[in-house]
Amino acid sequence: MRQRADLKQSRRWVVKIGSALLTADGAGLDRAAIHDWVTQMVALRARGIELVLVSSGAVAEGMMRLGWTSRPQALHELQAAAAVGQMGLVQAYESNFQQYGIHTAQVLLTHDDLSDRQRYLNARNTLRALLEFGVLPVVNENDTVVTDEICFGDNDTLAALVANLVEADALIILTDQAGLFDRDPRRHADARLLHEARAGDESLDEMVGGSAGELGRGGMLTKLRAARLAARSGAGTVIAFGREPRVLERIADGERLGTLLLPEQEAQAARKQWLAGHLQLRGTLHLDAGAVKVLCESGRSLLPVGVVAVEGDFQRGEAVACVDEAGREIARGLVNYSARDARKIIGRPSRELAAILGHVDEPEMIHRDNLVLV
């Protein structure tokens, strides 16, 4: 099980900063605080940690720019505030990171983007490419187009889903509280901070409340739920007070700050279990003996050259079964090509894909990270 010291070995973090920290008492964004967090993230990158930032604050900044003193209730007014505020939020991060020669990228997501398998893969591939290019993605919910039915509801949930998406080692949630307490610290002076717990511990539900601040939509309950979502892919979650001096660097040092919520399983095992339990099969790939051996003995990706036949009418990102020459299912996973394109490239080496299809989504038919043996 992951412990505090293991955060020193973590190489990919999702950092979420909440509205209560980002706003300056109703005066829009706290740019001094943003500069401080950016400085810390630059230091983390120098240590070799890849970062994806999930930032709240767009609605709050938009409210300030529009002269509103209370959060609107009408959806179209919230969307308008988010559209206005997103300009200031991105500008604040871009200008600070540029001082250190680091490029940022704005990534706006909705729940539909992560529930639709093809769009899920598109988002994953884009974020991976940005990280490979040394760009720091700044992610937010696409508040200007979401509706009540599809919105994440809070950026804690969004951050956890992004942690699943990029297979992060850790989710760091910076908030205006010191962490999870065994009782509400606003009502009980003797409330005790929980330094470490299992994310799946059901007794934690009784300890946290679901209340949210004026500008934010999430309470401590949403942070606990986010930790459980992040644990699906094996990420540990730290919930900590965001204005603690050098909070991100000290967490990276393994210091006992905030609450560490541990996943039940290590990252790879957790992700495989998640894949195995959530896949509805849309088709079948028939493999030759060499491909079966590579998958079963070496744990490598499935390449088009090892596929001899395709059954079904699936789309890119949907789940398919992989069977051996006797028709026995040996694995299942998320395929990188539609059935139509898959039939064109089976038995062919990856270097020929561009010439055959006119494009290359990925060189693998199924990447090993999206494949589980059965």
Query: Tell me, what's the pLDDT at 213?
Result: 46
pLDDT digits (tens, 9 = 90+) for 335-363: 999 999 999 999 999 999 999 999 887 89
Please indicate, yes or no, if residue 322 is contained in any of the structural domains.
yes
165 class by beta-carbon count within 10 Å (0-12 exposed, 13-18 middle, 19+ buried):
buried
Listed ranges 24-28, 286-290, 319-323; the one with the highest mean pLDDT: 286-290
Give the whole-angstrom CA distance, residue 339 versus residue 284: 9
Q: What is the CATH number of the domain that holds 364?
A: 2.30.130.10
Please count the structural domains in the chain.
2
The model carries a pTM of 0.75
Q: What is the CATH number of the domain that holds 40?
A: 3.40.1160.10
Query: Which of 215, 235, 267 is the last residue in one of the domains?
Result: 267
Does 150 score more than 50 pLDDT? no
Give the whole-angstrom CA distance, residue 363 versus residue 361: 7
3-state secondary structure of 288: coil
Name the residue range of residue 235's domain. 4-267
Query: Tell me, what's the pLDDT at 274?
Result: 58
Among 194-203, 230-239, 261-270, 298-307, the minimum mean pLDDT is found in 261-270
Please indicate, yes or no, if residue 186 is contained in any of the structural domains.
yes
Cα 2 → chain centroid: 19
Does 211 score more than 80 pLDDT? no
Are residues 236 and 312 both part of a single domain?
no
323 Cβ neighbours under 8 A, 6+ residues apart: 284, 285, 286, 287, 329, 330
Identify the band that residue 1 occupies on the pLDDT scale cut at 50, 70 and 90: very low
Average pLDDT on 228-253 reads: 93
Cα 160 to Cα 78, 165, 234: the distances in Å are 23, 9, 11
If one counts every other C-beta atom within 10 angstroms of the C-beta of residue 319, the result is: 19
Strand 170-175, strand 236-241: pairing: parallel
Please indicate, yes or no, if residue 272 is contained in any of the structural domains.
no
Are residues 262 and 310 both part of a single domain?
no
Query: Which of 237, 267, 297 is the last residue in one of the domains?
Result: 267
Please indicate, yes or no, if residue 273 is contained in any of the structural domains.
no
Are residues 210 and 335 both part of a single domain?
no
Query: Tell me, what's the pLDDT at 276?
Result: 63
